[in-house]
C-alpha cells in the first residue's frame, strides 16, 4: 500500500498482537477511530435500526470469534464473478430446463447455501469490478465506463481495494482472470493489494483480434495483410497492432506478459491456467496455515470458440451457456478440493455475475429472463444478477433471500469477516454496508433497502424497497410515469404517476441526500490516465509498439500530455 493511501486511513498497520485483540473485541471497537462514511441513505436506516444492529453485531462477533478459535484463523473467502448473466440462469434448474443447459454444481450450491434473489450490480463489467474491489459505486472512483483496449488509464492507486484490506490483516490474496480495471501500471492487480495476480487488463473483445477473425470477416482492419489494398486508408496510427491478453505479477515483484497473442488457443488457456492457479493458491495457503482471499473472475465468454473444442457442451450451445457450464464444472472441482483439504467449514464461497445479459449488440443466446433489459440498462434486467453463497456449517442451507444486497456490500462484509474493518478508509464514501447479518442470520436481515443506479456519470434511477424511480427520463416541472412498484410490475412495463404520488417525496429526499453527500465527498472525475502496459519485464516488440505512435509527435501542434487534460471523453462507452 502506498504512503499516500496510509495517510488517508484512520488506522495504519497494527501489530499482529493488536490485530488479534481487535478481532476478538466488541463491534464498537471497530469505530474507535471514526465511523465508515456510507451513502447518506444509510443513516436513515441506521437511525431506525442502529440499536438492533448493534445487538446483532455483538452476537455475530461472538460467533466469528468462536469460529476463529475453532479453526485457528479467520475464514477463507473465494469470490467467483463472471459476465453478463440474467437472474435465474444459474441456481434455478426450472429456468435452465427451458434454456437447454444445466449447472448442477451451482444449483446444488444454492441448495446448500443462499440463493440471493436481489443482488444488484452496476450496469456493466468495468463498473461492477471497480465497485466490488473498492466497495464504492463505480462513479465515485471514476470507473464509470467500460474500458476497451488500448485505454491508457486505469483505477487510481489511491482507491483502497479489498485485497489491500485483507492483505494488511494477514490474508494471502490472489486475483485470477478478468480484471478490466485499466492498463496502467498502478492499476495492475498485483499493485492493488494482491499477493499474486494473473489477469487480463481488458475484457473478452481481444479474443476477436486474431487472424482467423479477420479472414472470416468478423473484424476489419486489424490485419490489413489479409485483404486487398485500400489506397484510401491513409492513417495507420489508430490500429492496435500489438496487444496484451494476460499479465502476471506478484506484490512488489516484476510484471510479466503471459501466453502472448495472437492465437486464440492462448486466449482459452487463460481460463484453465486461472483455475489451476486458484487451486494451487489454496494448497499453498493451507500449507502456510494462513487464511486466503481469492478472486477468480473467469474470462469465460470469449467471442471466438476454442478451435480445440470438438463439440459443444450444451444443447443451447451459445457463448453464455457454454461458459456457465465450464464455470460450473470448476465450481464442482473447487468444492471437492476444499473438502479434500478439510477447509469447507472455514471457507465462504460466492458465485455471481457482474451485470445483466448482453442483450444489446451481444452474441446469440443472451436474453432477458425475469427482468426487463440487459447490460448497460438501468432497468432491473441490467443490474440484478444471479448470486449464490455457501459456507458449510455457517450459512444455513437451502435459503432463498429476497433482501436487497449490492455488490459493494461484499467489500465491507469481507472486511468484517476478515477483521479488516479498521483498514477501510474514512475519507470517502463507502457504499458497501456490512451484510454479515444477512449472510449469517438470513432472509430479512439486510441493512440496505436502496440502490442508486448510474449510467456513466449520470444517475439513472433510484431504488427504495419495492419502489423504483426513473430519473433518467424524468420530466422537469411535472413528474409523469416515472414510478414503478417492482412487486406489481417487476418488468417495469408500465410506469405510474398518480398511483405512486406517495413515493415521490421519498425519492426526492433520497436524491437530495445522495447529492449532498456527492458534493461533500466528490467523485473522482475519470479513471487516472497514464501510459499503457508499462513495466513488463518480458515485453514483446508488439507490446512496446502500443505505446509508440507511428506518427512523429514533434510534428503535431499538441502533445499527449495536453490530451490527458481531456481524458477519455470518447473512450469506453456508456454501457
Whether 575 and 460 have beta carbons less than 8 Å apart is answered as no
Find the angle CA(100)-CA(104)-CA(343) to the nearest 5 degrees: 155
- Closest approach, Cβ 29 to Ca ion, in A, equals 38
Whether 308 and 265 have beta carbons less than 8 Å apart is answered as yes
Whether 264 and 304 have beta carbons less than 8 Å apart is answered as yes
- Closer residue to Ca ion in complex, CB, 328/354: 354
- Closer residue to Ca ion in complex, CB, 82/467: 82
- Closer residue to Ca ion in complex, CB, 285/366: 366
- Closer residue to Ca ion in complex, CB, 83/409: 83
| CA 538 – CA 235 distance, rounded (Å) | 29
- Closest approach, Cβ 371 to Ca ion, in A, equals 16
- Closest approach, Cβ 353 to Ca ion, in A, equals 7
- Closest approach, Cβ 354 to Ca ion, in A, equals 4
| CA 433 – CA 443 distance, rounded (Å) | 16
Contacts with Ca ion by CB under 5 A lie at 83-84, 125, 354-355
- Closer residue to Ca ion in complex, CB, 84/392: 84
53 contacts: CB under 8 Å, gap ≥ 6: 46, 437, 447
| CA 285 – CA 341 distance, rounded (Å) | 11
Whether 376 and 574 have beta carbons less than 8 Å apart is answered as yes
- Closer residue to Ca ion in complex, CB, 125/568: 125
- Closest approach, Cβ 454 to Ca ion, in A, equals 15
Adjacent-strand bridge partners of 174: 196, 294
- Closer residue to Ca ion in complex, CB, 83/214: 83
- Closest approach, Cβ 271 to Ca ion, in A, equals 16
- Closest approach, Cβ 260 to Ca ion, in A, equals 24
- Closest approach, Cβ 266 to Ca ion, in A, equals 22
- Closest approach, Cβ 456 to Ca ion, in A, equals 16
273: cell is 491456467
* Sign of the Cα pseudo-torsion (164, 533, 522, 461, in order): negative
- Closer residue to Ca ion in complex, CB, 301/405: 301
- Closest approach, Cβ 299 to Ca ion, in A, equals 11
- Closer residue to Ca ion in complex, CB, 39/84: 84
- Closer residue to Ca ion in complex, CB, 83/368: 83
Adjacent-strand bridge partners of 452: 462
Instruction: Tell me which residue has its CB nearest to Ca ion.
Output: 125
User: Exposed, middle or buried, 185 (CB in 10 Å: 0-12/13-18/19+)?
Assistant: middle
As a three-state string, the secondary structure of 426-481 is CCCECCCCCCHHHHHHCCCCCCCCEEEEEECCEEEEEEECCEEEECCCCCCCCCCC
Adjacent-strand bridge partners of 401: 116
Q: Give first-to-last CA distance, the chain, whole Å.
A: 31
| CA 290 – CA 489 distance, rounded (Å) | 48
Whether 412 and 434 have beta carbons less than 8 Å apart is answered as yes
Amino acid at each position: 500500500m502506498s504512503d499516500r493511501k496510509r495517510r488517508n486511513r484512520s488506522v495504519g498497520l497494527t501489530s499482529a498482537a493488536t490485530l488479534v485483540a481487535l478481532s476478538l473485541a466488541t463491534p464498537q471497537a471497530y469505530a474507535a477511530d471514526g465511523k465508515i462514511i456510507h451513502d447518506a441513505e444509510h443513516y436513515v436506516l441506521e437511525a431506525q435500526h442502529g440499536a438492533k444492529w448493534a445487538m446483532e453485531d455483538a452476537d455475530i462477533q461472538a460467533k466469528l470469534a468462536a469460529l476463529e478459535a475453532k479453526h485457528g484463523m479467520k475464514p477463507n473467502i473465494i469470490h467467483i464473478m463472471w459476465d453478463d448473466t440474467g437472474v435465474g440462469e444459474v441456481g434455478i434448474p426450472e429456468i435452465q430446463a427451458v434454456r437447454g443447459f444445466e449447472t448442477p454444481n451451482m444449483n446444488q450450491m444454492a441448495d446448500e447455501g443462499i440463493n440471493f434473489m436481489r443482488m444488484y450490480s452496476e450496469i456493466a463489467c468495468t463498473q461492477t469490478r471497480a465497485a466490488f474491489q473498492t466497495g464504492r459505486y463505480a462513479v465515485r472512483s471514476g470507473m464509470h465506463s467500460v474500458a476497451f483496449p488500448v485505454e491508457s488509464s486505469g483505477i487510481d492507486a489511491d482507491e483502497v481495494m479489498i485485497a489491500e484490506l485483507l492483505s494488511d490483516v494477514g490474508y494471502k490474496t490472489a486475483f485470477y482472470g478478468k480484471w478490466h480495471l485499466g492498463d496502467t501500471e498502478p492499476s495492475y492487480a498485483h499493485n492493488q493489494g494482491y499477493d499474486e495476480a494473473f489477469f487480463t487488463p481488458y475484457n473478452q473483445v481481444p479474443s476477436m483480434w486474431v487472424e482467423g477473425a479477420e479472414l472470416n470477416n468478423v473484424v476489419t482492419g486489424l490485419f490489413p495483410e489479409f485483404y486487398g489494398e485500400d489506397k484510401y486508408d491513409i492513417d495507420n496510427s489508430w490500429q492496435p497492432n500489438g496487444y496484451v491478453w494476460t499479465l502476471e505479477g506478484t506484490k512488489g515483484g516484476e510484471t510479466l506478459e503471459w501466453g502472448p497473442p495472437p492465437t486464440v488457443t492462448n486466449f482459452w488457456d487463460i481460463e484453465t491456467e486461472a483455475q489451476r492457479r486458484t487451486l494451487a493458491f489454496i494448497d499453498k495457503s493451507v500449507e502456510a496455515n494462513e487464511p486466503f482471499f481469492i478472486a477468480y473472475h473467469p474470462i469465460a465468454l470469449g467471442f471466438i470458440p476454442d478451435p480445440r473444442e470438438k463439440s459443444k457442451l450444451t444443447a443451447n450451445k451459445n457463448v453464455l451457456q457454454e461458459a456457465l457450464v465450464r464455470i460450473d464444472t470448476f465450481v464442482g472441482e473447487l468444492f471437492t478440493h476444499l473438502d479434500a483439504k478439510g477447509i469447507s467449514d472455514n471457507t465462504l464461497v460466492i458465485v455471481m455475475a457482474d451485470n445483466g445479459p448482453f442483450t444489446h449488440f451481444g452474441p446469440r443466446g443472451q436474453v432477458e429472463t425475469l427482468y426487463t433489459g440487459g447490460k448497460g440498462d438501468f432497468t432491473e434486467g441490467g443490474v440484478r444478477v444471479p448470486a449464490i453463497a455457501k459456507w458449510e456449517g455457517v450459512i444455513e442451507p437451502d435459503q432463498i433471500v429476497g433482501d436487497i444486497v449490492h455488490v459493494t456490500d461484499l467489500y465491507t462484509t469481507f472486511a468484517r469477516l476478515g477483521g479488516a474493518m479498521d483498514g477501510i478508509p474514512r475519507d470517502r464514501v463507502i457504499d458497501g454496508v456490512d451484510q454479515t447479518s444477512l449472510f449469517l442470520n438470513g432472509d430479512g436481515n439486510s441493512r440496505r433497502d436502496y440502490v442508486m443506479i448510474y449510467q456513466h456519470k449520470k444517475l439513472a434511477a433510484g431504488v427504495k424497497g419495492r419502489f423504483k424511480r426513473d430519473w433518467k427520463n424524468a420530466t422537469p416541472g411535472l413528474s409523469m410515469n416515472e414510478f414503478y412498484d417492482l412487486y406489481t410490475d417487476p418488468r417495469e412495463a408500465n410506469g405510474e404517476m398518480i398511483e405512486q404520488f406517495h413515493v415521490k417525496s421519498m425519492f426526492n429526499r433520497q436524491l437530495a441526500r445522495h447529492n449532498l453527500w456527492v458534493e461533500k465527498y466528490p467523485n473522482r472525475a475519470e479513471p487516472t490516465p497514464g501510459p499503457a502496459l508499462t513495466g513488463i519485464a518480458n515485453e514483446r516488440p508488439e507490446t512496446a509498439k502500443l505505446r509508440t505512435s507511428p506518427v512523429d509527435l514533434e510534428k503535431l501542434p499538441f502533445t499527449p500530455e495536453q490530451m490527458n487534460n481531456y481524458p477519455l471523453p470518447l473512450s469506453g462507452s456508456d454501457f
